[in-house]
Amino acid sequence: QVQLVESGGGLAQPGGSLRLSCVASGRTFSTYVMGWFRQAPGKDREFVIGISWNGGNTLYGDSVKGRFTVSRENADNTVYLEMNTLKSEDTAIYYCAAYPWRGSSVSPRSTSYQYWGQGTQVTVSS
């Protein structure tokens, strides 16, 4: 069992930055693919970004390419989402998610992810 806890959400101005963190419980964090999803009111959950167990593979959603980056520190059981050049359309609840690495590419499908955090609100507004 893996438990995920996100933090770092809040209010940012357009063009600003935020960094989200997700801390995972359990000893096998380093064997999991970690992903970030988001869901805005009235919209489907959207894949944001994913990173393989060792950080060697990453996958970015089209809407965040060039603005968001992902990294992980396995020694601290933590994955980070660095969000730059924020836009109002980035406003959403951001969820951290995980699934065991299966030796293939990082999946953008929410159904691939076995564990989910409770989410953290990000609001981009002036």
**Residue 102's pLDDT is what?**
83
**Residue 34's pLDDT is what?**
96
**Residue 105's pLDDT is what?**
87
Helix (H, G, I), strand (E, B) or coil at 122: strand
Task: Give me the amino acid identity at 83.
Answer: M
**Residue 125's pLDDT is what?**
97
Interval 86-126: pLDDT, tens: 999 999 999 999 999 888 789 999 999 999 999 999 999 99
Can you point out the beta strands (E) in 1-126?
A: 4-7, 10-12, 18-24, 32-39, 46-51, 58-60, 68-73, 78-83, 92-100, 115-116, 120-124
**Residue 26's pLDDT is what?**
78
Interval 17-75: pLDDT, tens: 999 999 999 778 889 999 999 999 999 999 999 999 988 899 999 999 999 999 999 99
